């Protein structure tokens, strides 16, 4: 499967069964699977969105109180899902083009993408258990690898 490095944004080919082996990027040697959300910009988002690892996006803005309250929950839930999805954050205040492209009307908005196709979307902050359940349902919609 193709997984994008969170540091240099280079695409890496990693066998699915090796994701738990802490693979490193072939270019910069950074860990490819970290369980830590990364910030995406208009310059790097496409390399992650088109990869084989599903992408969970938190569309947020720094002035948004619920977004700031939800950030630690998003970060906490990212770790146990590290081998199943890439967690990313898109600041809609600075990345207005991406907010418009994905028709973000309220924040926080969460969306799951697989190979650049939106699989699920929800709006508003939620507690960790509810986010975990929503992600399980969303990721279950992705067809298994052939």
Q: Give the active site residues.
A: 64, 67
Give the integer Cα–Cα distance in Å for 86 and 37: 7
Give the integer Cα–Cα distance in Å for 59 and 13: 28
Give the integer Cα–Cα distance in Å for 114 and 72: 24
Structure tokens at 136: 């399980």
Helix and strand tally (H, E) in the chain? 4, 7
């Amino acid at each position: 499967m193709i997984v994008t490095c969170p540091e240099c944004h280079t695409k890496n080919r990693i066998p699915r069964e090796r994701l738990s082996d802490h693979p490193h990027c072939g270019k910069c040697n950074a860990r490819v699977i970290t369980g830590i959300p990364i910030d995406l910009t208009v310059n790097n988002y496409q390399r992650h969105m088109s990869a084989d690892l599903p992408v969970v996006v938190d569309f947020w803005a720094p002035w948004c109180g619920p977004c700031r309250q939800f950030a630690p929950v998003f970060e906490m839930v990212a770790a146990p899902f590290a081998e199943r999805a890439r967690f990313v954050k898109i600041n809609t205040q600075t990345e207005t083009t991406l907010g418009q492209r994905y028709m973000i009307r309220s924040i926080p908005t969460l969306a799951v993408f697989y190979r650049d196709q939106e699989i699920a979307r929800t709006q508003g902050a939620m507690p960790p258990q509810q986010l975990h359940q929503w992600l399980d349902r969303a990721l279950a919609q992705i067809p298994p690898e052939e």
